[in-house]
Structures are given as structure tokens and as C-alpha cells.
Structure 1
Amino acid sequence: MNRLPSLFLSHGAPTLPIDPSLPSAEFATLGAQLPRPEAVLMLSAHWGTAQPVASISTEPETIHDFYGFPRQLYEIQYPAPGAPDLARRAAALLGEGGLHAELQPHGLDHGTWVPMLLMFPDAAIPVAQLSIQPRLDAGHHFRVGRALRALKDEGVLVIGSGQITHNLRAADFSARPEDADPRVAEFTDWFEEKLTARDIDALLDYRRQAPHAVLMHPTDEHLLPVFAALGAADDDYSLTIQSLGTYQRALAMTNYVFGSA
């Protein structure tokens, strides 16, 4: 089997599957372009723990971890099988990399099932989640990804799911796409320039070096998954950027595919 890429997905609002103004079709396009994996290991911004935890659920529930949305959204189920063997393999790899990981059951939060539903709607690919550590930094998550790199040769798609910019306090939910705060583009342009250059040191120091970093991410749990995906990437990765636009003035949606060169 050929080595799979690693991905970072900006999963957007929970309404992505039901709101025609949001770029759901682009996720379907991305899913069709990817090699079909045997399993997915997902690191979602919406499952944070003090240390890594891998989910061993065999039939993970679809978690509707949000409030005040249309009833239609709460009726969506994504009945993908779990991947407990993958969870154990991931925990073992982390241990080999000096990172202790726990095992416990956990369902699929919307950072996982929303993009999976759009990319792989048949819900046939086994999925395991691996938690992020919101109190730890980009470097920690890069090391997590590095430890998981071998999975890409085992038919596993390693995905970080978050948001390339995420400041809900700065969001204007009546704004049009053309009303985007120009500082969003300054941040994402810097980030993508460094990704293209494979400037890992600058990326790991983004909170000090990137323009408007703290404004774009007052807390960085939605960006931390990109560093895991980057860590899992090959040293000479090829970068594919899928830019989906900026919504609510401050919430940019961009997906990155770190392919084998």
C-alpha cells in the first residue's frame, strides 16, 4: 500500500452539512480525491485532555456537542465503526516516542463526524479519535504527529480537525464573505508561506512570529491539530491547499493535505 497523506481540516460550524451557504461540497471533492484509507485517526479540537487518550470504542456514538442549532442537526448520525486496534497501535507508537497515552471509550464529536460525513458519507471507514492537549503547545502536538508517522504506511489517514482561524468573539454572524477582516488573510498567508517553505521552527513559534496570532486564536485548541498533521507529514512533504473562504468575518476555512513527495 502506498503511503497516505496526513490532513488538517477546518471543520467550520456544526451546520456545515445542512447550510447551503457553507462549503460542504468542497469536502466531498477532497474526499473523492484522497486514497481511500483502511481507517482514520482523528485529532479533533473538541476533545481535550491533560495527556493523550485514544478511543477504544467499537461503536462510537455520534456526539452532538453543541447547543441552539436546528433540530435537523441533532438528528444526524454517523454510524462509522470504531477502530480500537488502531487506538492501541497509536498509543503504543506514542509510548515509543516517549509520550504516555491512555485508552478509554469515546464517541465522535462534531469536529470528527462533520468532516467525515461530508468526505466519506457511507460511514464505512473505521474511526478512532485521539485527544489533543489544550494546555500544551504546538511543539508537543508536532511530537505527537511524529510518533504517529508510521501509521501512514499502514493504511491509516491521520487527520487534525480544527480551524485555521478561530475567534468567536470577533465573529459577525451577519457578515458576508467579502466582509472578511483583512487580518485573517495576513495570518493565513504567513502560515501558508511557512508551510510551503517547510519552516517548522517558525510554525512552532507561531504565537510569537505570526501576525495577529493571538487575535486569530485567543486560545489555540483549534490550531493545535494542524501541528499533529504536520508532525505526521514526511520531511519533504508536498502541500496542497484547499482554501474555502472566510465566514462570519473572522473564521477562515482552509484545508491542508501533506502528501508524500
Structure 2
Amino acid sequence: MPRYRSLFLSHGAPTLALDTIPAHDFLKTLGATLPRPSAIVAVSPHWMAPVPAVKTTARYRAWHDFGGFPDALYQLRYAPAGDAARAQRIAAALQQAGIDTQLVDDERLDHGVWVPLMLMFPQADVPVIHVASLGRDPAAHYALGRALADGVDEEVLILGSGGAVHNLRALAAPGTPPQEWALSFDDWLCDRLLENDREALLDYRRQAPGAAHAHPTEDHLMPLFVALGAAHAGATTLHRSFSYGNLSMACYGFA
């Protein structure tokens, strides 16, 4: 598999770590097929900040930032190293790009990051630099992705972890097929990514079918714009499936 500048991974429910669903199986094989990154810069909707923030922690711990799931999920541990020196260089690059940035020493790694990384790199042997999501502005996340790409070398993987379709009120029992509105948005998103139609993607609220239903809170789509901003070219489809009815698990790689 080629070296991707960035990835967008749909992380679904925290039970992705345990459920034997297609997305789980895909992520378990993905890490071994990628050229090994020297580090991973990760953005997730489960850590949001009013201004950009970069973690300088030396060692993370899996943060079980959810409730009401099987006990086995709370027993999982994932503790990759951080990289304070690289985090400081990233913060400097963001500042150079005109993005005010703060450094944060926080060992918590939310499930949007540790669940997919635990499947991809189970030995937790790739350093992670956690960067905050910025709310619900596609253009701001796109600019963040561009600045991140300028601030790290080509062997660093930029990861946006979120969800291609994410409406928690529309979840259904496992095995339930997705509804038409979810399929339509997922197909539109895939088509625009493969066409590298960035203008349409940034304007998805007006142009995509069923955008408000597919993303009523929008936060889980924002990491896609980080991955898109970091990339030079259009997307490659790595995986597409649904879980819990209407939760898209689509994953894309960007060169």
C-alpha cells in the first residue's frame, strides 16, 4: 500500500474495539499494510478546544470517555508514547501559519484515537501527537490540516478520526441495513472525495443530500477536513461499511 499523507477513519461506537464487524477486521489489517509512520498526529471530535491545542505528554493512557458499554471495554489499555519535541515543532508551524496554538500536558487519549490505533498498531509502538478539534467549521479544520502537513515530515501520518455518517439518534440494532438517507450522504461524500471536489466538500451543508440528518452535530465530520487539508491529491477508498444501521464506517487515504 502506498504511503498516505493522511487518513480519515470512521471510528463508530467504542465497541469497535471488540465487535467483529467489517470495520474492525479492516483496521486490524490496515496497520500492517501501511509503510510504518515515524509518528501519528491525531485529531478527534472527542477533544475539542476553543483554540488549537497540541499535547506534549510523554505517555498517554486510554481514556474511557463513555458509559454504559460492556465491562470488557473498560479493561482495555493503550499507552503509546507522545513526542514533546515534535509537538513543539507542530505548534510552532501552526503559529507560523497564523493559527494561535497552546501546548497542553494531558495524558488522556480519547476513544476516537485509541480505539482505531489499538487495532492498527496493537503494540502501541508508534508515537502519537494529539491535536484538538476546533468545533464545527470545515474551513478552519482544512486550514489546520494544511498547517499540520507543513509542520511535519513526510513519514508522519496525519489522522482524522470521526464518522462519515454520524447520527446517534438514528442508530439501530446490529445487522440492520442502513436507510436511504444515510446511503445517499455516504455515496455523495465518497464521490466528491474521489473527484477531489474540495469546493463541494467544504460546502457540504448546502450541497450534500441529507446533510443535516447525516450530521446533526457535525463534529464527527470535521476531522475529514483536517485529512483533506493535509493532502496533495484526492482520496482513495480504503473501506466502506455500516454498523448499527446508519453509522457509516467509511475510511479514506489521501496522498
Same fold by TM-score greater than 0.5: yes
1:252 corresponds, among 234, 248, 254, to 248
Q: Secondary structure at the match of 2:240?
A: strand
Give the 3 Å change call, closer, same or farther, for CA 220–30 of structure 1 in structure 2. Answer: same
2:193 aligned to which of 192, 195, 202: 195
CA distances 1:128-167 after superposition (whole Å, capped 9, x unpaired): 1100011x41001000001111355342110000010100
SS at match of 2:82: coil
- Which region of structure 1 is more displaced relative to structure 2, 212-221 or 19-28? 19-28
After TM superposition, the structure 1 = structure 2 runs for residues 86-97 of structure 1, keeping only pairs within 5 Å, are 86-97=86-97
- Counterpart in 1 of 2:103? 103
> Which residue type is aligned with residue 91 of structure 2?
A
Is the 2:9–2:161 contact (alpha carbons within 8 Å) kept by the matching residues of 1? Answer: yes
CA distance in structure 1 between the partners assigned to 2:174 and 2:27 by the alignment: 23
How much does 1:33 deviate?
A: 1.6
Equivalences, count: 253
The letter of the residue matching 1:122 is: Q
Q: CA shift at 1:83, angstroms?
A: 1.6
CA contact (8 A) 1:175 1:248 kept: yes
**Secondary structure, aligned partner of 1:123:** coil
SS of 2:192 mapped into structure 1: helix
Look up the match of 2:224.
226
- Taking only the aligned residue pairs, the percentage that are identical comes to 43
Match of 1:176 in 2: 175
Q: Distance in 2 between matches of 1:3 and 1:18?
A: 27
- Which consecutive unaligned segments of at least 5 residues does structure 1 have? none
Q: How many angstroms apart in 2 are the aligned matches of 1:49 and 1:36?
A: 29
Change (3 A) 1:32 1:152: farther
Determine the structure 2 residue equivalent to 1:241.
Answer: 237
**Residues 238 and 30 of structure 1, relative CA distance in 2, 3 Å threshold:** farther
Give the aligned partner of residue 13 of structure 2: 13
TM-score by length of 1: 0.92
Once residues 110 and 215 of structure 1 are traced to their aligned partners in structure 2, the CA distance between those partners, rounded to angstroms, is 24
Aligned AA (1:66): F
Cα distance in 2 for residues equivalent to 1:19 and 1:38: 29
TM-score (structure 2 length as normaliser): 0.94
RMSD, aligned α-carbons = 1.6
Q: Distance in 2 between matches of 1:34 and 1:21?
A: 21
**Deviates most, 223-232 or 194-203:** 194-203
Residue 207 of structure 2 corresponds to 209
Equivalent residue of 1:189, what SS?
A: helix
Corresponding residue of 1:114: 115
Unaligned runs of 5+ in 2: none
Mapping for residues 147-162 of structure 1, pairs under 5 Å: 147-151=147-151, 153-162=153-162
